[in-house]
Amino acid sequence: AGGILLKPGQVFEELRDTPPYRPHWLIPLILYIVIATACTQIIVSLPGPAAHLKAIAEKDLLPRLEEYIREGTMTRQQTEWLRLFITPGTGQFFVTQCAGTLFTATGALVLMAFFLWQLGRSVLARAVRYKKVLEVVGLTFIIGTLERIVGSALIAATGSLYATPGPGLVLVAEPE
């Protein structure tokens, strides 16, 4: 795993000469899903980010739910049930967040691999096997995992959901 970060060219050269190996994409994907889920749970348990998420819900989401009740498109019971899915700290929020991470990460992996595979076949006129492209894209998820850890650490350190490892980190004011 360290090779992809320190010597990515060498790793990809070695991949080219070996048969497809499922753990090369599956392990980084699982690692990303587990770490992303853990980081999100840690972030929503912190006072600053939790208050910010609550403010977003009260300002944007809850008024929409009330509007749906007035319009008759949802009942009060339905909106209360839905509120559990958008409130950090509830079991429903956790399940929704886990499922969202699972599906978006897996979908991103498969779609990026498919896009690059098609690009290689059509534009570059190369006979590349989809499983090899999936393997290469999967290995890059290690970098995404590290980015998720760094980003979460910055959010925890600053207490701001807008903290990123970039120029935005030095900005004092948060967007409304």
Confidence check: pLDDT of 175 > 60: no
Structure confidence at residue 39 (pLDDT): 93
Give the pLDDT of residue 18.
81
Q: How far apart are CA 173 and CA 20, in angstroms?
A: 48
Task: Give pLDDT tens digits for 61-115.
Answer: 888 888 988 999 989 899 888 888 888 878 898 899 899 999 999 999 999 999 9
d(CA 106, CA 145): 14
Least confident of 8-22, 24-38, 111-125, 147-161: 8-22
| CB 40, CB 101: distance < 8 Å | yes
- What is the spatial distance between Cα 13 and Cα 135, in angstroms, rounded to a whole number? 13
State the residue for tokens 């699972």: 102
Q: Tens digit of pLDDT for each residue in 129-138?
A: 899 889 989 9
Residue 101 identity: T
- How far out from the chain centre does Cα 145 lie? 9
* pLDDT tens track for 29-38: 999 999 999 9
Count CB neighbours of 172 within 10 A. Answer: 5
